[in-house]
Amino acid sequence: MLRVCVWVLAALAALPAESSSVEQAAAGDSTVIAAYVFPQNGMLQAGQIDPTRITRINYAFAAIQDGRIALPLDTDKANLAFLTSLKQKNPSLTVLLSVGGWSGSAGFSDSARTAQSRKILIDSAIGILKVYDLDGLDLDWEYPGLPGAGNPFRKEDKRNFTLLLKELRARFTQLTGVTNRRLYLTIAAGASDEYIDHTEMAQVQRYVDAVNLMTYDYYEAGSDALTGHHAPLFADPADPKKESADVSVRAFQAAGVPAKKIILGVPFYGRMWQQVPNINHGLFQPGKPIPNSYAPYSTIQQTMLGHGFTRFWDERSRAPWLYNQEKQIFVSYEDPESLAAKCSYLLNAKLGGIMFWSYFNDSSGELLSAIDKGLGRTK
């Protein structure tokens, strides 16, 4: 049976100073460990998720239908009820509804376009939060002002994105004043200068609790003719693109986002290329797309490590890769050693925490254990 929170509706006075409440609340938070849970058409089952090892769940994905946020799958309602029930084991766990994603962002530009369309979207969001007893929203608009996966977009998205978040924050603050329950507002952000150029991050950060920075997919076989690290911590001088998590973090800070609001994204999956020549063990070499080039870490563990693939380590990037000389396949991925480096980095940089896509890509729990250890939660 769905847990229904009793929400009291009331009209309150105008929102106080725009940035103070969010920034003060965020300053007192401990390190965030945010897991994207993406069951697709599956029904979540007892024992699949350990709520004691994470602090936040972003349930992916809600959709935008006819200008309103909606749950598109028959399993969504039961899955949300399951996730909120995990608070019995971890009362400090927060469960957010993630809206959009790469293939689900088509409705954002239209919905953010006017004050009335934004109100319709926000009203629907508030309704879902109430019914399913959720702790807030994670907006994954990919991307404002850009086509993403062929979505409608317009230059006004830049300002409208800010207004949407500002108006969401105002409604959240109103409800918190009535219920005394904090509601979280986060975004998933593309880790590129192009994303920064099409948003107003100095303004956006005033209204959000966290920016989930997608510091991965810097290289993908479908769009990059050369192999490379898809989630390097630092840029290797030999890397033609010179991109990395560190470069992106610094760019977002320069754009006005405080370190404490940046959540460092890590991938629990790898990217693969084929027909890669055995030069430099395949790194920064020409390659071709390979069918099913997305490799969950569990697949890498079970079918690649110790099965014809040799692991190599880039000390400069603090990133591993695999190369199969016989099959000429290159794999860029995340592993416990690279996660240890990233945890140390985020602690030293005083970032807000770490997030990963996605929980079910690590069936053994090895990567989550590496995060636990890297953040000092276990020995």
Active-site option among 142, 167, 243, 334: 142
Phi, psi of 100 (to 5 degrees): 110, -110
Gap between the Cα atoms of 164 and 158, Å rounded: 10
At residue 193, the 3 state secondary structure works out as helix
Gap between the Cα atoms of 236 and 230, Å rounded: 12
- What distances in angstroms separate CA 297 from CA 251, 264, 271, 359, one per listed residue? 29, 18, 10, 10
Q: How many other CB atoms sit within 10 Å of the CB of residue 170?
A: 16
Check if 315 is active-site: no
Gap between the Cα atoms of 335 and 347, Å rounded: 18
Phi, psi of 243 (to 5 degrees): -110, 155
The residue behind tokens 């409208």 is: 160
Gap between the Cα atoms of 282 and 100, Å rounded: 35
- What distances in angstroms separate CA 268 from CA 234, 301, 368, 378, one per listed residue? 18, 11, 9, 20
Gap between the Cα atoms of 275 and 282, Å rounded: 10
Q: How many other CB atoms sit within 10 Å of the CB of residue 79?
A: 19
H/E stretch holding 373: helix 366-374
The helices-and-strands tally (H runs, E runs) of the chain is 11, 14
Dig out the tokens for 90 from the structure: 């971890």
Partner residues linked to 271 by β-bridges: 294, 332
Strand order, beta sheet including 310-314: 294-296, 269-273, 329-332, 319-324, 310-314
Active-site residue list: 142
